A and B are shown apart, each in its own frame.
Chain A
């Protein structure tokens, strides 16, 4: 609606002169003046446009003013249209006027006084304008109310939906949830809380939460809640709560402060999750780790004790053997030196004592070696070593011990490699010992020491003895293994095992072959410089 909207006034009179005079009188009222010279013409105009005021002469031919007014009033659009009659006053007519009192109706007597006509039309025009404004305002207001109502309803629906979802979560979660105010009074507790503390939400509401828990827990709550309110920040606590079944369970409780609009804390929402199983698993894991650690320490200390024992035992065993051997050797030496004619049995007996004490020494050393092997520290420092010199020395030593065997050194004049000389001498010594032991009938023993290429050297010991039965060949390098345990029981079955460990620690390999013509040939391959090679993983299986 615009206030500048034209207000239409319909003037009806059968006399054009009168219409003209009204036009003059109302000309400066800012109204749209429409003229009609008959009732029919007036009705046509009324149908064509919206008319605010009808000014009409009562006495007109065809349809008079009253009849026209009645027709106008029948139309719903014009039921409240202002009608001003112009007429000479007659009593009968005044009575008829009363029928229109409900509508806005006025009467102007003839002769028309221009000021009165102008005043009355102005009032009705103003009334019309105000009414229209009011109607527009009402419509606008109504629309706004409707819009607002719709929005509110939508909001409410959303809120309800959100609340329902929230409620579903609250009631169905396994967590223990409660809302309390700053003084600890319950605002809401969920089903988890109800079950755990045996109190319903309705019973709990308004009650202090500290009356619902055992004293110890209540005291812990008071401390943690005070902390959350004070710090005004979410915090996590571990709580142990005894359930209705009497079982203690561990919870992790996240407590978050609630605020009012000003940001002041008004309460706390608490969400407790049962972590008993997780905690148990953690504890079990820690316990397991602790036990494992303990077991390892025990094992390490047991190994240490064993090694210390073996070391002391070896020392203690070797000491009497030293005395024994030295004494036997000295006696033999005296006999020889003083050129005494000792009986054969005495010389033989002294040689047996010497040999057996030497064997005893080897057995003691092997025992110690095996315990050291377990700690991987058998091999000592490596230096550039003449392997042929080692072989020569050993051949001299072993030749003195046997008359039935012919030990022959073959191969190259100089064969050098960077090895632990003590360990490699032990390997060759073990191989020679076996060669003699397993060729009881005597025969040739060939020791071959040679350079294979610029990277590898090879030591081999070939005997012509009893060899090893095919079914037992795969195990010869195993610990405590003896291929001829029944017939030739001697030693601990550790020699080849120790030899293999030493050779492999040098990144070498030890193998055994069984040549045509009997006996066995043990072959040791060693890198010229093991230090320059990448270490390789030790083998589990035998290298045969």
Chain B
């Protein structure tokens, strides 16, 4: 699974965050697809398998827990998931869905990029 051929999937219900991250990742040379909730994310994955998923937890329509559960049940291979959450204990959220990593909102973009490079490269 490589982020040279495959996009990074951003899942967040906040448009500002989505667009900011989209710009940032595009600048870094990544291909990016976005989804506003879990359901949309599953549809995007159906169309194109991502190399990495950045996942918000609290979202309308389908939240991060349900998405992660359904995604893991789907036939693999599965991309690593990095949880991005504004919850107090991001680590607990990440453990709940057995995510590969987590980052607390609001984040420092340098920190975020460091994390993404770690999984994408």
B86 engages A325 (CB within 8 Å): no
Tell me if B47 is interfacial: C-beta within 8 Å of chain A. no
B88 engages A372 (CB within 8 Å): yes
Chain A 261-317 interface residues, beta-carbon cutoff 8 Å to B:
311, 314-315
B87 engages A322 (CB within 8 Å): no
Chain B residue contacts of A324, Cβ below 8 A: 16, 106
Distance of A422 Cα from B91 Cα, bound (Å) = 10
Residue from B87, B106, B109 in contact with A330 in the complex, judged by beta carbons closer than 8 Å: B109
Chain B residue contacts of A322, Cβ below 8 A: 14, 17, 86, 105-107
B88 engages A326 (CB within 8 Å): no
B58 engages A323 (CB within 8 Å): no
Chain B 1-59 interface residues, beta-carbon cutoff 8 Å to A:
14, 16-17, 20-21, 23-24, 27, 58
Task: Please classify how large the interface on chain A is, using the bins under 10, 10 to 19, 20 to 34, 35 or more.
Answer: 20 to 34
Chain A residue contacts of B58, Cβ below 8 A: 315
A314 engages B86 (CB within 8 Å): yes
B87 engages A311 (CB within 8 Å): yes
Majority SS of interface residues in chain A? helix
Tell me if B92 is interfacial: C-beta within 8 Å of chain A. yes
Nearest residue, chain B, Cβ from A326: B20
B87 engages A326 (CB within 8 Å): no
Tell me if B114 is interfacial: C-beta within 8 Å of chain A. no
A326 engages B17 (CB within 8 Å): yes
B17 engages A319 (CB within 8 Å): yes
Tell me if A380 is interfacial: C-beta within 8 Å of chain B. yes
Tell me if B121 is interfacial: C-beta within 8 Å of chain A. no
Tell me if A445 is interfacial: C-beta within 8 Å of chain B. no
Chain A residue contacts of B105, Cβ below 8 A: 318-319, 321-322
Nearest CB of chain B from residue A6's CB, rounded to whole Å: 127
Tell me if A327 is interfacial: C-beta within 8 Å of chain B. yes
Nearest residue, chain A, Cβ from B56: A319
Tell me if A365 is interfacial: C-beta within 8 Å of chain B. yes
B108 engages A329 (CB within 8 Å): yes
Nearest CB of chain A from residue B13's CB, rounded to whole Å: 8
A329 engages B14 (CB within 8 Å): no
Task: Please classify how large the interface on chain B is, using the bins under 10, 10 to 19, 20 to 34, 35 or more.
Answer: 20 to 34
Tell me if A334 is interfacial: C-beta within 8 Å of chain B. yes
Tell me if B89 is interfacial: C-beta within 8 Å of chain A. yes
Chain B 80-102 interface residues, beta-carbon cutoff 8 Å to A:
86-89, 91-92
Nearest residue, chain A, Cβ from B85: A315
- 0/1 string, A353-381, CB within 8 A of B gives 1: 00001100100010011001000000010
Residue from A326, A368, A369, A380 in contact with B106 in the complex, judged by beta carbons closer than 8 Å: A326
Distance of A358 Cα from B24 Cα, bound (Å) = 19
Tell me if A333 is interfacial: C-beta within 8 Å of chain B. yes
Distance of A315 Cα from B104 Cα, bound (Å) = 11
Chain B residue contacts of A314, Cβ below 8 A: 86-88
Distance of A326 Cα from B111 Cα, bound (Å) = 11
Nearest CB of chain B from residue A321's CB, rounded to whole Å: 5
Tell me if A320 is interfacial: C-beta within 8 Å of chain B. yes
Residue from A323, A337, A422 in contact with B14 in the complex, judged by beta carbons closer than 8 Å: A323
Chain B residue contacts of A369, Cβ below 8 A: 88
A321 engages B106 (CB within 8 Å): yes
Distance of A326 Cα from B58 Cα, bound (Å) = 19
Please provide the 4 A-B residue pairs with the shortest distance between their CB atoms, ordered closest to farther: A323-B16, A318-B86, A322-B106, A326-B20
Additional 10 contacts, C-beta under 8 A, given A318-B105, A319-B14, A326-B106: A314-B88, A319-B86, A321-B105, A322-B14, A322-B105, A323-B16, A324-B16, A330-B109, A365-B88, A422-B91
Write 29 A-B pairs (CB below 8 A) sorted by A numbering. Answer: A311-B87, A314-B88, A315-B58, A318-B86, A318-B106, A319-B86, A319-B105, A320-B14, A321-B105, A322-B105, A323-B16, A324-B16, A324-B106, A325-B107, A325-B108, A326-B16, A326-B21, A327-B16, A329-B109, A330-B24, A333-B109, A357-B106, A358-B106, A361-B106, A365-B88, A380-B89, A380-B91, A422-B89, A422-B91
